[in-house]
């Protein structure tokens, strides 16, 4: 037969606090940090179980398409830059050199004309008004 005994409330609360404090000491935050040892790659691999195969294949196909378009675009940009650069070197560089040569020739001609003008002025000084005249011989 079972014997019933009345337990006063104060004694019951003390026993409950002891039990709760013992339970808290058994567990610590370190027990729940086992996931920190898991690398990012492990977590991504674990997603394999969560994401259905059909969606994974769609993601893979989309990533492959994006990679292919990126490579094609980069190749096109590189080849276009090469064509434009070589075309400019072949067409514009000789033109720029000829323009510079023509400017140098024009500057040389102007300098030669100024020297001729200075020589003529020295030979016939009375030609220009305000210039000192040489006495004329009789």
Domain positions in the chain are: 36-121
Query: Average pLDDT in the 121-127 region?
Result: 71
Total-model pTM? 0.41
Specify the residue for token string 């990533």: 63
In this predicted model, what pLDDT tens digit does every residue of 2-15 receive, in sequence order?
788 887 777 766 66
C-alpha–C-alpha distance, residues 70 and 45, integer Å? 26
In this predicted model, what pLDDT tens digit does every residue of 34-66 receive, in sequence order?
556 888 998 888 888 888 899 999 999 999 999
Give the CA count within 13 Å in the CB-facing half-sphere of 92: 6
C-alpha–C-alpha distance, residues 49 and 43, integer Å? 10
Q: In sequence order, what are the residues at sequence separation of 6 or more whose Cβ sits closer than 8 angstroms to the Cβ of residue 51?
A: 59
């Amino acid at each position: 037969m079972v014997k019933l005994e009345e337990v006063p409330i104060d004694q019951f609360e003390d026993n409950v606090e002891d039990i709760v404090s013992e339970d808290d000491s058994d567990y610590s935050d370190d027990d729940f940090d086992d996931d920190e040892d898991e690398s990012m790659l492990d977590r991504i691999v674990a997603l394999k179980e969560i994401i259905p195969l059909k969606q994974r294949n769609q993601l893979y196909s989309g990533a492959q398409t994006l990679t292919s378009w990126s490579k094609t675009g980069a190749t096109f940009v590189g080849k276009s830059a090469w064509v434009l650069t070589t075309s400019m070197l072949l067409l514009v560089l000789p033109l720029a050199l000829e323009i510079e040569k023509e400017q140098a020739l024009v500057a040389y001609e102007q300098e030669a004309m100024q020297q001729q003008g200075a020589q003529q002025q020295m030979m016939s000084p009375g030609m220009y008004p305000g210039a000192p005249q040489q006495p004329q011989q009789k």
